[in-house]
Amino acid sequence: MKILLANFTKMINDTGGVAKVLTAFANEMTNRGHQVAVAYSDDRQGDFFYPISDKVKSYNLRHYNGKDVLFPLSMKIKRELLKAVDIRKGRSVNDEFHTKYLLGAVQDILQKFSPDIIVAFHPTASKILICDMKTKIPVITMSHGSPEDYFHTYPVDELPAIEHSTAHQVLVPSFIKPLINRYPHLRVKVIGNVVPQYETPVDLSVLKERYKIIFIGRMVKNHKRPHLLIDAFIELAAEFPQWDVELWGGGGKKSYMKTMQAKIDKANLHDRIRFMGTTHDVESVLRTGDIFVFPSAYEGWGMSLTEAMSMGLPVMGYKNCVAVNELIRDNVTGILCEDGDKPLADALRKLMQNKALRVQYGKAARESMKAYDANSIWNQWENLLRETIC
């Protein structure tokens, strides 16, 4: 098969989950003997954060065939003004930009690569391909979060592309309902993300001088919310002097990072709550941990969460966080608590003071991730691709 992965957004040095999934997808299908190309749209030029096979053709729509197309300042201003009033209208400016400036590059890529099938990593790409270009090539639209968001925050012009996709992939079973309720005839397939199956789990039974709580994710205030872990740990620090916190990840605004650091300094915990930056070696980071905390407000999956579970760490998240509340089985693989720093502190206390419970939950978490081993997930994807072409 000739497979085009269409992710019409940034990829250069992007540490996010979508970028990670795309490179893994491209590498695996290439290893299976398929021809794979990636089309993305990034102002910057350079390398992907996650390594990609040199056999994969990569096309940056903004820097294509010697032509550089930057996002006009006037459109950026328009987008920000509209977003302040209506997020859907603000996002529609991105579609306007792609339609006005990049259709020619997309058309040229389709002609040169001539894919048998296209996997669109978001509805923006599906709209361009299905609605604007009216391609006859089968398009599978991926969902990296709850499809319910499509109908509240995505541009209205993108919705027909969702309806007319040849198939739609979602990550967890609860994501099926929002699509089928609106498009009863849409073909929807549940395929989770690949979770690494670490050969040796962390040994939580060993006696340590110091124990560690780990967070891995982007430092984003309204999404990943690492400040909630900081607030919760500050409440517990005196009670558990042998425990520390490591926060791994980048992408935070300077003002947000300063606010969190100020909290840490005020509590005199700068030597026990540390910002560690980004890492290419998640496995080594997780192996040093005892508890993994994932305080997101919303998720489509949670890559670092499932990696922590595969390592055998007990995990914590919020009951009201979509997807997380399906991946974590409360009081089986970890703890789901009510939102806020106080409930998180109470839940943390339960695990911090009980090693046997950490071992029990960690073993169950590791076992639950076996359903997402690479061979199983990529077989599901390969089968869907073949069935869609036929």
The full set of domains in the chain, from first to last, is 2-194+373-389 (3.40.50.2000), 211-372 (3.40.50.2000)
The two structure tokens encoding residue 258: 């300063």
CA proximity to 140, closest of 154, 123, 120, 124: 120
| Residue percentage of the chain with pLDDT more than 70 | 100
Collapse the DSSP code of 186 into the 3-class scheme (helix H, G, I; strand E, B; otherwise coil) and give the result: coil
- Average pLDDT (36-49) is 95
- Strands 67-68 and 63-64: what pairing? antiparallel
Spatial separation of the C-alpha atoms in residues 164 and 134, rounded to whole Å: 11
The two structure tokens encoding residue 299: 């998720």
Collapse the DSSP code of 58 into the 3-class scheme (helix H, G, I; strand E, B; otherwise coil) and give the result: strand
First-to-last alpha carbon distance for the chain, in angstroms, is: 12
Reply yes or no on whether the pLDDT at 145 is more than 90: no
- Average pLDDT (329-353) is 97
The two structure tokens encoding residue 331: 């009081």
Tens of pLDDT along 156-189? Answer: 999 999 999 999 999 999 999 999 999 999 999 9
In contact, 190 and 206? CB cutoff 8 Å:
no
Number of other CB atoms surrounding residue 247 within 10 Å: 24
Reply yes or no on whether the pLDDT at 388 is more than 90: yes
In contact, 349 and 335? CB cutoff 8 Å:
no
Alpha helix locations (H) across 102-217?
103-113, 123-126, 150-153, 159-163, 176-182
Reply yes or no on whether the pLDDT at 319 is more than 90: yes
Backbone angles phi, psi at 75, to 5 degrees: -75, -35
One DSSP character per residue, 365-380 reads: HHHHGGGG-HHHHHHH
Reply yes or no on whether the pLDDT at 372 is more than 90: yes
